[in-house]
Amino acid sequence: MSPMTRRQKFSILFPNAPAFRLKQMEEALFSSVFHGFADVSNMPLAMRETLTKELPWLAVTAVQVFESVKKDTFKAVVAVEGKKRVETVLMKNARGQWTVCVSSQIGCAMACTFCATGTMGFTRNLTADEIVDQVRFWIYFLRKKSILFSTLRPGLEERDSRGGAEDFESRISNVVFMGMGEPLANYEQVKEALRLLLTYTDIGMTRITVSTVGLLPMLRKLLSDPAWPAVRLAVSVHSADSDTRKRLMPSSYDGFLDGLVAWTEEYFQKFESRRRHLTFEYVMLSKINDTQRHAEALIRFAHRVGKVRINLIPYNFTGSVYRDSLPGDFERFQQQLEVAGVVVTRRRTMGDDIAAACGQLIVEKNVTPAIV
Ligand code: SAH
């Protein structure tokens, strides 16, 4: 069972506290000046003491941190409740700022056959705090790095090989729910995590992406949920051929693709302005979904949906039966889509040397830690 959130625990500990106290506590968590509840000097001392005793300041603790050779990707194995482990990734993005990839569950029940997390089964949902604290963990990490590097004496070789302090001073601008787990199978906690991020950080709605296998009941639910924020959505399609998709993703079924088209119609009707905020992800698997026939199916599908962005993802080998698309096949597939007028982008692969790339997030022991 998942632990209680700080918010739930706060209302049990202080049933008569005015609402602004809860807000103060939440604000403090995201403030750069406090390092623990004891520091929050605008709260009564007794309250601070109780909070220190009863609530974790950070709901995740780092077990190991790995650094990619290019120094642009970091992966952390973090423990929740002191023992269960999930992974979170920090990547330098195209804008020279940082993107955090968070996990939303311990393991995953979706069992996609090409995904490493899919093989580990499902343990439990993460709480909103455990999700948001993955972002806070990286905020602290960057802050520590920037202090460390700015205090190094100038002229040190380390500056050249590891980047200067300014690299680590730049802010976290994006959050993607693309780590372990299926976010929409943990709807309420993910929604609460979004609320916390949007209320207390400067990361905007269009800089947050929730990626889903496409749980249609949940996708429908968020359309009529006024508390679901207008974050970007990415649906993992991976094949527009029903049988292929069923083989790749056991959560799929006959009629899913039609259901997804119907959902997108409703989505665009409700949120015409969010059209460009919808992405379909497509992991490129050699001879499985990257042939001419599959491209044709995807083109037909994309045309049924209307203007939607297809994000082609290079497959990251996870020791399964699949192989990544041959460069020529990838190219031809992409061109076939472009010629047909489909908006298509290609995802950069980052951190594959530390098993931090998409679908490689599984707690494994065969990678050497760079920093602990
Ligand atoms: N459960 C969510 C988030 C999963 S990870 C979802 O399915 O969307 C984010 C993306 O990485 C998904 O599109 C997922 O299908 C993809 N992915 C999984 N394994 C991968 C692998 N080995 N190589 C490349 N992408 C992979």
For 341-366, write each residue's pLDDT tens digit.
999 999 887 777 777 666 666 654 44
How many residues in the chain? 372
* Contacts of 90 by beta carbon, 8 Å cutoff, 6+ apart: 73, 74, 75, 76, 98, 99, 100, 101, 138, 141, 142, 172
What single-letter amino acid sits at 252? S
Q: Give me ligand 1 centre to Cα 88, in Å.
A: 14
Distance (Å, rounded) from C-alpha 17 to C-alpha 43? Answer: 11
- Protein residue whose Cα sits closest to atom 9 of ligand 1: 178
Distance (Å, rounded) from C-alpha 369 to C-alpha 241? Answer: 41
Identify the pLDDT of residue 160. Answer: 44
Strand partners, 208: 175
Identify the pLDDT of residue 350. Answer: 79
Which of 340, 235, 323, 339 is CA-nearest to residue 285?
323
Task: Give the three-state DSSP class for 156.
Answer: coil
Identify the pLDDT of residue 319. Answer: 76
Band of residue 50 on the pLDDT scale cut at 50, 70, 90: very high
Of the ranges 175-179, 262-266, 274-278, which one carries the lowest mean pLDDT score?
A: 274-278
Q: Name the DSSP class of 322.
A: -
**Mean per-residue pLDDT over the chain, rounded:** 90
Q: Give me ligand 1 centre to Cα 114, in Å.
A: 8
Ligand 1: residue of 105, 110, 236 to mutate (most ligand atoms within 8 A of CB) is: 236
Domains assigned to the chain: 8-54 (no CATH), 61-354 (3.20.20.70)
Distance (Å, rounded) from C-alpha 100 to C-alpha 88? Answer: 7
Distance (Å, rounded) from C-alpha 285 to C-alpha 277? Answer: 25
| Residues 140/5/207/218 CA torsion (nearest 10 deg) | 150
- What is the per-residue pLDDT across 150-191, written as a single tens digit (0 to 9) for each? 655 454 444 444 456 666 677 899 999 999 999 999 999 999
101 part of the active site:
no
Of the ranges 67-81, 82-96, 268-282, 322-336, which one carries the lowest mean pLDDT score?
A: 268-282
Provide the percentage of residues in the chain whose pLDDT is more than 90: 75
- Protein residue whose Cα sits closest to atom 2 of ligand 1: 212
- Tally helices (H) and strands (E) across the chain: 12, 12
Of the ranges 178-182, 234-238, 277-281, 355-359, which one carries the lowest mean pLDDT score?
A: 355-359
Burial class (CB in 10 A: 0-12, 13-18, 19+), 20: exposed
Q: Check residues 363 and 86 and name the one with the higher pLDDT.
A: 86
Ligand 1: residue of 104, 119, 211, 247 to mutate (most ligand atoms within 8 A of CB) is: 211
Identify the pLDDT of residue 210. Answer: 98
Which of 7, 355, 337 is CA-nearest to residue 199?
7
What single-letter amino acid sits at 327? P
Q: Is the pLDDT of residue 67 over 80?
A: yes
Distance (Å, rounded) from C-alpha 80 to C-alpha 58? Answer: 10
Task: Give mean pLDDT, residues 5-23.
Answer: 96
Identify the pLDDT of residue 318. Answer: 77
Q: Is the pLDDT of residue 320 over 70?
A: yes
Identify the pLDDT of residue 360. Answer: 67
Identify the pLDDT of residue 367. Answer: 44
Identify the pLDDT of residue 159. Answer: 43
* Contacts of 14 by beta carbon, 8 Å cutoff, 6+ apart: 21, 47, 50
Task: Give mean pLDDT, residues 225-234.
Answer: 96
Around ligand 1, the residues with Cβ closer than 6 Å are 110, 112, 114-115, 178, 182, 211-213, 236, 281, 283, 313, 315-316, 318, 358-359
Q: Give me ligand 1 centre to Cα 179, in Å.
A: 8
Task: Give mean pLDDT, residues 304-326.
Answer: 90
Q: Give the burial string for 196-228 (b: 16+ CB within 10 Å, else e).
A: bbbebbebeeebbbbbbbbbbebbeebeeeeeb
Distance (Å, rounded) from C-alpha 231 to C-alpha 173? Answer: 14
